[in-house]
Chain A
Amino acid sequence: MNFLDLKAGETVEVGTQQAYRFWRYLFPRHHAPIRLVSWVSNKRWYPRQNVEGTSPDLGEQGLHGYKTIDDMMASLRDEPERLVFRSQISGCDGVVLGTVKMWGIIWDHALGYRAQFARPTSFISSYGNRSEEALTELRALFF
C-alpha cells in the first residue's frame, strides 16, 4: 500500500478485515478456466492475486463487502437465486457468494465496508448454470 495515503495522526491497524460479498462467474468457451467478475463492474478477480480497487476516499468507490453474512442475505432478501437472472443478462453464468479479506484504506459503513485492497478467502455457495461445478472449480483455482 502507499503510505502517502496515511493522514496525520491516523492510527494504523495491523491485520485484515473479513467481509462477505458476491461475484458473477463465467464459464468461457473452449474449456478455459472459470472467471470471477465483480457484480457492479467488469473487474476480473484472478486466482491467488490481490485486487486493488478504486480509492475508497472517492464517493462510493472501493471494493465493497458486507459485515456479516446476515447483512448480505438481508440485502438479497434471503433469495440469492434472484441474482442469477441479472448475472445472465450480463453474459455470465451465475453468482457466487463468499468471503474476502480487506486491507489498505477502509471505510466502515453501517452494514459493510469499502476497501482499497481485497482477496477472496472462501466461496460459500453458488447459483446459476453448473453452479456446483463452478463452486468446485473456483475453490480449486483460488485456494
Chain B
Amino acid sequence: MAEIGKPERRRVLVPTEEPALPRVTPEPPSQPNLPPIRQPEREPA
C-alpha cells in the first residue's frame, strides 16, 4: 500500500458482532477437604 502519512493516534475498536467482553469460564472456588456434613439425627416422635 502506498503512503498514508504520519501516525497520529492509537485506538481500539471492538465490532458489535463480537462479544464485547472476553468469555471467561469461572473456575469453581477451591474448597478445603472438609468432612462430609452429618445430618442431625431425627428425634423419635
Contact = CB atoms under 8 A, between A and B. Distances in A.
A14 B1 contact: no
**Size class of the contact patch on chain A:** 35 or more
Contacts of B3: 75, 111
Contact of A15 (B5, B13, B21): B13
Contacts, number: 87
Contacts of B8: 107-110
What's the interface size class on B, roughly? Answer: 20 to 34
Contacts of B6: 109-110
Given A3-B22, A107-B9, A16 B15 contact: yes
B10 A39 contact: no
Interface of B: 1-16, 18, 20-22
